A and B are shown apart, each in its own frame.
Chain A
Amino acid sequence: MTTTLVDRYVYTALRRVPEQQRADIDRELRASIDDAVDARVEAGESREAAIETTLLELGDPDRLADSYAGRRNFLIGPELYGVWRRIMMMLFTTILPIVVVAVAVIELFADDVTVGSVIGAIVTSTIGVSVHMAFWTTGVFAVIERTGLGQAELKGKWSLADLPKYERGALSRLDFAGTLVWPVLAIAALVLQQFTFTDEPLLDPANWSFWWPALIVLTALKGVWALWVYRLGRWTRQVAIVNAVQSVATGALMVYLLATDKFFNPAFTGFGDADVDLRSWITVVVIAGVVLGSLYDSFDVARKAEQARKGLPARVPGTGNTYSIG
């Protein structure tokens, strides 16, 4: 039994050692184990106990094999981790949204498009693209880590030019793009729901005579406002007032339509005939959302304008300090 224990240990360790080194390590490891066991037996232990203690001291044979083979027991080491993290951040914050939006837009023009099919396309593409990006990037880095191929180029040397530049001004390019996306999506959804998604449009078609076009104009104005702020480069009182007027007008329009039951299409049957009146519940929730949303938006911009007027520099939470990074 005791010989099989040593055999099993050595065999387990050798399995994970390169073949050309096995014979030598086999002989050396056995001799070392035997030496240690003999020493313990001489000191008065029983042979079995001596073998057990010796093997226990040598520890996990897989780790021993890693150590013999000079193998790294990590996928991506500290040298490459920073680069890997930066690439992953870029992939997930830039590439992923672009791909998902593209997939969603393509799906919108499919023949049998429904709300479900668009949401499905967004969810599956988000999951699929994420998994692929994470897997292949990490795989390539693991190969680089092991082969050392192109490591010098990847690591590079950090210089002051690599410090992030914090854009001065009210809206960074990314914020601006974000502010533009919402009006575009809202208008697209408003127009498309009339023709696609459901058999009967969700929103009352009667409003196309005036209210829906008005809403589209107000929403589009939000985009124009964003462009104005972006070009202006700072939050001003005018910016805040125009934004507040716009928000309140849009909100008031929607609340009026919702409250007077002119918002949803009476012919739309999607709310079903459940016991609870789903339609009025949704109406209440949407009213609350619209009111809170436009209030928050107005206050948020007003706060930024006020801060800019007072010339308050960037405050960094946790430090109690302000930094001039602009």
Chain B
Amino acid sequence: MVLDMTTDATLASHLQELRRGTVVVASLTVLRTPGYGYSLLETLSEAGFEVEANTLYPLLRRLESQGLLTSAWNTDEARPRKFYTTTDQGNAVADALRTEWARLDDAIGDLSTETSTTPGSDK
């Protein structure tokens, strides 16, 4: 299959569409152990989530205002940092999102096996 520049751009926009929302699940999951903005950014990018700092930092504050995260300033070290922790509500939301993710994954897996075994049938 030939991937020219147009399909590259199309693919990129579809990938972005697909990834949107995964950062929320990932952040809520990672922050079950407290973490600060930059550390979370590092963890996520190491785990393979492509997320920009200018998306993540405002997102953390939004999740906090929704009650899914709590925050506390840690001033023990030379550089004061704001640590975020997932709340019980945040955990519940993350669970629900992960369940949905798994369901979608199964459903898509089913679809692709179905279409590969019975092409053209309308069952």
Contacts and interface: CB of A to CB of B under 8 A. Distances in A.
Contacts of A57: 52-54
Interface in B21-40: 36-39
B79 interface: yes
A297 interface: no
Nearest to B52: A57
Contacts of A34: 79
B109 interface: no
Contact of A36 (B53, B58, B61, B62): B53
A32 B38 CA distance: 6
B98 interface: no
B119 to A, nearest CB: 31
Residue of A24, A31, A58 with highest tally of chain B CB at under 10 A: A31
A27 B73 CA distance: 10
A28 B54 contact: no
Contacts of A180: none
Nearest to B60: A28
B57 interface: yes
A148 interface: no
A64 interface: yes
Nearest to B65: A70
Interface string B41-61: 110000000001111011001
Contacts of A24: 82
Nearest to B58: A67
A68 B79 contact: no
Report the contact-size class of chain A (Cβ under 8 Å from the partner).
10 to 19
B33 to A, nearest CB: 18
A119 interface: no
Interface string A271-290: 00000000000000000000
A97 interface: no
Given A27-B80, A31-B79, A67 B54 contact: yes
Nearest to A69: B58
A231 interface: no
B54 A63 contact: yes
A59 interface: yes
Nearest to A65: B58
Nearest to A57: B53
A292 interface: no
Interface string B97-123: 000000000000000000000000000
Task: Report, nearest first, the 4 A-B pairs whose CB atoms are least far apart.
Answer: A35-B38, A67-B58, A32-B37, A68-B58
Given A64-B57, A64-B58, 15 more contacts: A28-B37, A29-B57, A31-B36, A31-B38, A31-B80, A32-B38, A35-B39, A36-B53, A39-B38, A57-B54, A58-B54, A59-B52, A63-B54, A67-B55, A67-B58
15 contacts: A24-B82, A28-B37, A28-B57, A29-B57, A31-B36, A32-B41, A35-B39, A35-B79, A36-B38, A36-B53, A57-B54, A58-B54, A59-B54, A67-B58, A68-B57
Interface of B: 36-39, 41-42, 52-55, 57-58, 61-62, 73, 79-82
